[in-house]
Amino acid sequence: MTHELAVLGGRPVRDTAWPLWPRATETAGRALAEVLGSGRWTVSGPYQGTESVEQRFAKAYASYTGTAYCTPTTAGTTALTIALQALGIGPGDEVLVPGLTWVACASAVLFAGATPVLVDCDPRTLAISADAARAACTPRTAAIMVVHPFCNLADLDAFVALSAEKGLPLIEDSAQAHGARWRDRPVGSYGVVGCFSMQQSKLLTAGEGGAVVTNDAELHSKLEQLRLDGRRYGPAPIPGRLELVEVGAVQGRNFCLTEFQAALLLDGLVRLDAENEERARTVKVLVDALRGVPGLSLLAHDDPRVTRRTYYNAVLRFDLAEFGGSSIDAIASALSTELGAQTSPVYIPLNRHPLLRADLADSRLRTQATVDAISSARLPVAEEARRTCLTLPHPLLLAGADGVADIVAALGKLRGHAHELAGLPQTRSARAF
C-alpha cells in the first residue's frame, strides 16, 4: 500500500527551506566585528572611552518600550528571577501565574521561594483570565504575573484595575510580544516591571538574552545590582578601568549580557517593526486561505484594544473530528513532516508539566504544599487548548503568500487523509518529526 502522508513515507508538500531565523545581516556582522576589536567584550571589562554596547541597547530598548529604564539580563528566566527579587517576593508569598505558559514563569517563582498559583486562561485569547485571577487572590498573594502569549495580549485594562484594587504589583512577561501595543502603548510598560526574553526563537533575539524594563528608579537600582553581583555602573568612568562600582546595597549574581549579544539586539531592534509588519501581512493572507479548510480556525485576534499585534506564532484551533478524531500531537507530527518545519501543540498546562515534578526540584525551594498547589490546580480551558490547538512558528510567517499556500495545502492533505492520520501514534513524543 502506498501512503500519501509524508510522515508515512509519502512526498511532503514543501521541499524547499523556510526563511532562516535568526537572520544574519551584514550590519550585524559589522557590529560583532567592532565588538571583537574593541577591547571590551562584557560590561565587567575595562571602559574603553565609549559607552558600552549593552548600555546603548538598554537605553534604546527603554525608549522603544516607553519606559525610563532597562536592565539587560542573560535570559527571560533571569529577567523574571531578578524582577521577583527586586519586588521582595519570597517564602510565604503567592504569585498568580498563567496555567498555560512556558515553565520558567512558575520555576522563577519557585526559585524565589514563593508559591506559584496557577490561573486558567481566557478561551478566546489563551492569555491569563482576569476573572480567574481575581478569584485566585488570597491574603498571601504578593504579585500578579501576566503573560502575553502566542499572538495575543492579556486584558491589560482588567489587570491594571485588579492590581490597583488589590494593591499588588503587576509583572508583565512580554517574552513573546516584542513590539506589541495595547491602546497604542507598548506592552511591558503597564506593569511595575516588564520582562522580555531574547532567546533564539523570539522576535528580537541574540541567541540568548533578556531584559527588565521599569519606570521605578529604586527598582531599577535593585535590578542593576541583582544582575551585576551587587554592582552597578559608576558616574564617571575612566578609560582602562572597570566602569562598575560595588554598591553593597543588594547581593546579586552575574546575569549580564555580553557586548556581542547587545550588538545583535541593537541590530535586531532596527528591523523589529518591519519584521512584525511582514508577519502580520502573512497572517491576513492565512486567515483568508483557511476559510476554505473545514474544521480549522485561527485563534481569536480581533480585540480593537490591541493596536499593534505581533506574531510569535500563529495558533490554529482544530475540530479534531474533521481530522479523523486524531490527537493534536499526531496532527502536529504529520504537519511538521509535510512542511519540513516543527509545528507543535500549545504548552502543556503547568499543573501537569513534567519539568515541575517534585523530584526535579531543590527541596529547599518548595514544600509539599507548593507541590500540591501546582498539581491540584484546575485548568479546564488550558487543558482544552492543549487538546485542540497547534502553533505555527513565526519564521513560517516570513515566507509570505507562498508559505501560506504550502501551509494550507498541507492542512488540506491531512484532512483528506484522515484515515492515515488515525493510524499514527496519538501520544506526545519527544520529537515532532
Give catalytic residues, as residue numbers.
202
> Would the CA dihedral through 410, 416, 418, 421 be positive or negative?
negative
- H/E segment holding residue 170: strand 170-173
Do residues 118 and 166 lie in contact, with contact meaning Cβ atoms separated by under 8 Å? Answer: no
Alpha-carbon distance 192 to 167, whole Å? 12
Beta bridge partners of 95: 116, 143
Residue 10 to residues 20, 162, 412: CA-CA distances in angstroms?
Answer: 25, 53, 15
Report the candidate in 250, 256, 254 with the shortest Cα–Cα distance to residue 230.
Answer: 250
Measure the CA angle with vertex 345, ends 339 and 350; round to 5°: 155
How far is it, in rounded angstroms, from Cα 52 to Cα 50? 6
| Cα 76 from Cα 81, distance rounded (Å) | 9
In contact, 343 and 390? CB cutoff 8 Å = yes
Instruction: Please tell me whether residue 164 adopts helix, strand or coil conformation.
Output: helix
The closest alpha carbon to 289, from 412, 138, 203, 153, belongs to: 412
C-alpha cell at 133: 485571577
CA–CA separation, 403 and 154 (whole Å): 29
What's the gap between Cα 28 and its chain centre?
A: 23
Nearest to 117 by CA among 187, 160, 168, 156: 168
Length of the chain as a residue count: 433
The DSSP code for 242 is B
CA dihedral 105, 106, 108, 114 (to 10 degrees): 140
Q: Where on the phi/psi map is residue 236: left (φ > 0), alpha (ψ -120 to 50), or beta?
A: beta
Of 20, 1, 15, 3, the residue nearest 409 (C-alpha): 15
Amino acid at 101: T
